[in-house]
């Protein structure tokens, strides 16, 4: 049986470390880190994500500043807000919740964030730092994936890692992080030919496709470690819904360790956001 990597417990431990770091900053008279969270419009899923981020900030002592803008906000107004937040010394991290409404070019908005306050790690400067292995702020979900892997892998050198998905948010940055550890990394995507045989060679599988139960048990090399980033809500025959990962969870028994969905990568993402905010405030 594969070991289940308990993302909830690992995220809880990380948040405790973050809370201690915040308390240390306050005790030194430096003040609590400030995270500005910008939400444009009222997409229900985004409302839920922003609400969770704000409540988790409160739990670790990070001061969150919420900016809610109407759905018809002009790009220039959002850029003016970003400029004001960049200049505000009480704001150490800036998070713009995606997706943005159609009239706004998300790339332009993300590029406008001061890279030192870019706690999502999406700014081209931070992407460049990641790809050159020169520090910077690392995107939260890939950072969380590595922390989960670190609980079961001591030495990455020479391991074969296969990443399924090449998004800027998950696939590409996680591939960069694995490459930094000297894994041999293969990045696959929707047009990849012969995916099952590529995955069969992997000591580490990171599945981030958003394709429910794409990865079957017989794709997994015995002893491999599987990180399942995918989360899709699927409707079952009885009309109820459940969250499903990219891996067929019931078939993962010959993996050495696997993350559950939910309760694996998901909880790490917000915990890493809080850790990144402290990193930005301490820089």
Q: Give the residue ranges of the annotated binding site for NADP(+).
A: 165-167, 190, 231
Residue 68 phi, psi dihedral angles, 5° rounding: -105, 120
Considering the rule CB under 6 A, would residue 171 count as an interface residue with ligand NAD?
yes
Q: Which of 17, 151, 167, 186 binds ligand NAD (CB under 6 A)?
A: 167
Q: Which of 231, 251, 256, 263 binds ligand NAD (CB under 6 A)?
A: 231
Count residues binding ligand NAD (CB under 6 A): 25
- Residue 105 backbone zone (phi > 0: left; psi -120 to 50: alpha; other: beta): beta
For residue 153, the minimal CB distance to ligand NAD (Å) is: 20
Contact 262/243 with Cβ under 8 angstroms?
yes
197 is catalytic: no
- 34-40, strands of its sheet edge to edge: 63-69, 34-40, 93-96
C-alpha separations of 65 from 9, 27, 37, 93, 175 in Å: 27, 21, 6, 10, 33
Residue 36 phi, psi dihedral angles, 5° rounding: -90, 125
Instruction: State which of positions 146-165 bind ligand NAD (CB under 6 A).
Output: 164-165
For residue 260, the minimal CB distance to ligand NAD (Å) is: 11
Q: Which of 232, 243, 251, 263 binds ligand NAD (CB under 6 A)?
A: 232
Nearer to ligand NAD, 91 or 174 (CB): 174
Nearer to ligand NAD, 41 or 210 (CB): 210
Considering the rule CB under 6 A, would residue 210 count as an interface residue with ligand NAD?
yes
Considering the rule CB under 6 A, would residue 98 count as an interface residue with ligand NAD?
no
Contact 182/158 with Cβ under 8 angstroms?
yes
Considering the rule CB under 6 A, would residue 269 count as an interface residue with ligand NAD?
yes
Strand bridging mode 160-164 / 184-188 = parallel
Residue 37 phi, psi dihedral angles, 5° rounding: -115, 120
120 is catalytic: yes
- 3-state SS assignment for residue 67: strand
The residues of the shown chain that bind ligand NAD, judged by CB under 6 A, are 141, 164-167, 169-171, 188-190, 192, 195, 208-211, 214, 229-232, 265-266, 269
Residues acting as catalytic residues = 53, 97, 120
């Amino acid at each position: 049986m594969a070991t289940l990597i308990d993302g909830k417990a690992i995220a809880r431990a990380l948040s405790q470390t973050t809370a201690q770091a915040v308390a240390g900053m306050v005790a030194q008279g430096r003040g609590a880190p400030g995270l500005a969270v910008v939400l444009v419009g009222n997409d229900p899923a985004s409302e839920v994500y922003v609400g969770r981020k704000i409540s988790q900030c409160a739990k670790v002592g990070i001061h969150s500043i919420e900016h809610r803008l109407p759905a018809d906000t002009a790009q220039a107004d959002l850029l003016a807000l970003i400029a004001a937040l960049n200049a505000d010394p009480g704001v150490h991290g800036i998070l713009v919740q995606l997706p943005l409404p159609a009239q706004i070019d998300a790339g332009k908005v993300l590029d406008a964030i001061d890279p030192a306050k870019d706690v999502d790690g999406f700014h081209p400067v931070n992407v460049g730092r990641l790809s050159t292995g020169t520090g910077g702020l690392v995107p939260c979900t890939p950072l969380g994936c590595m922390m989960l892997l670190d609980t079961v892998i001591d030495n990455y050198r020479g391991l074969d890692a296969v990443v399924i998905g090449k998004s800027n948010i998950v696939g590409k940055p996680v591939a960069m992080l694995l490459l930094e550890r000297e894994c041999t990394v293969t990045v696959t995507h929707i047009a990849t030919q012969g995916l099952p045989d590529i995955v069969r060679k992997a000591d580490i599988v990171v599945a981030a496709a958003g394709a429910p139960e794409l990865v079957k048990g017989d794709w997994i090399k015995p002893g491999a470690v599987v990180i399942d980033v995918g989360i899709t809500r699927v409707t079952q025959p009885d009309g109820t819904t459940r969250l499903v990962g990219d891996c067929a969870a019931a078939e993962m028994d010959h993996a050495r360790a696997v993350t559950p969905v939910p309760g694996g990568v998901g909880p790490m993402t917000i915990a890493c956001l809080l850790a990144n905010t402290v990193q930005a405030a301490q820089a």
